[in-house]
Amino acid sequence: MSDWITFALPKGRIMKDSMELFGRIGITCSEMEGDSRKLVFENREERLRFMAVRATDVPTYVEYGCADLGVVGKDTLLEQGKDLYEPVDLKFGYCRLVVAEPKALRAGDDPNNWSNIRVATKYPNITERFFAAKGIQVELIKLYGSIELAPLVGLSERIVDLVSTGATLRDNGMVEVETIAEITSRLIVNRASLKTKHQRIGAIIDGLERVVGEDVRISP
């Protein structure tokens, strides 16, 4: 078993892009193609195992060595601050982490004058750091989803959340104030696995760097 390679992949929107990219370096798993509620899939011939986990749990599985490798958004890494090796920017899962507020509030608002604000977010650590660096005091309200609802019902004046198409902000009458970070998905690696399975993991890192590099050269 010890020469198997285990991946922790997020169940949600990143899963498909991850498997497409891995497929380009010969890492595949036909067992994952069907409709199934299974959480662990195997490619026995190649000694590869894939675990489907919550996006926010990927770093934990890799940190504890239950998975050798994982794919996770940079947002989650910035929020959790775990000690993980992060060798490859996979360039998919692009979105931005932004500060936003209701359109009506934005009209007469100057963020330079903020001194004490209330912010709802899934990302309390990033938010606190961001505003602390500006000398702004923040009352944080931690939510787990549907963040754009908070200002609509008076839970907070502002939010910090991910934006990709902008549709969720727009449809809920909100506008961006500032970008905190540009986000893409990253390959993460358990530090011990990198040493004990250096040959296989090194080949995966090199392969992914190559295919991601090819894409960057192709796109304008």
Ligand X SMILES: O=P(O)(O)OC[C@H]1O[C@H](OP(=O)(O)OP(=O)(O)O)[C@H](O)[C@@H]1O
Ligand Y SMILES: Nc1ncnc2c1ncn2[C@@H]1O[C@H](COP(=O)(O)OP(=O)(O)OP(=O)(O)O)[C@@H](O)[C@H]1O
Answer yes or no: are the C-beta atoms of 96 and 182 closer than 8 Å.
yes
Q: Which is nearer to ligand Y, 10 or 70 (CB)?
A: 10
Q: How many CB atoms lie within 10 A of CB 220?
A: 2
Residue 14 near which of ligand Y, ligand X, none (CB within 5-8 Å, type-dependent):
ligand Y
**Applying CB under 6 A, does 161 fall inside the site for ligand X?**
yes
Q: What Å distances lie between residue 166 and 13, 50, 173, CA to CA?
A: 16, 32, 11
**Applying CB under 6 A, does 79 fall inside the site for ligand Y?**
no
Among 146, 182, 206, 216, binds ligand X (CB under 6 A): 146
**Applying CB under 6 A, does 140 fall inside the site for ligand Y?**
no
The tokens for 143 are 């939510």
Q: Which residue is nearest to ligand X (CB)?
A: 145
Binders of ligand X: how many residues, by CB under 6 A? 12
The arrangement of strands across the sheet holding 85-89 comes to 40-43, 48-53, 5-10, 69-73, 185-189, 85-89
Q: Under DSSP, is residue 149 helix (H, G, I), strand (E, B) or coil?
A: helix
**How far is residue 151 CA from its own chain's centroid?**
24
**Applying CB under 6 A, does 148 fall inside the site for ligand X?**
yes
CA 73 – CA 92 distance, rounded (Å): 9
Interaction residues for ligand Y, span 150-209 (CB under 6 A): 162, 164, 183
Q: Which range touches ligand X (CB under 6 A), out of 19-27, 133-141, 156-164, 200-208? A: 156-164
Binding site for ligand X (CB under 6 A): 145-148, 161-168
Binding site for ligand Y (CB under 6 A): 10-14, 54-56, 73, 75-76, 93, 95, 162, 164, 183
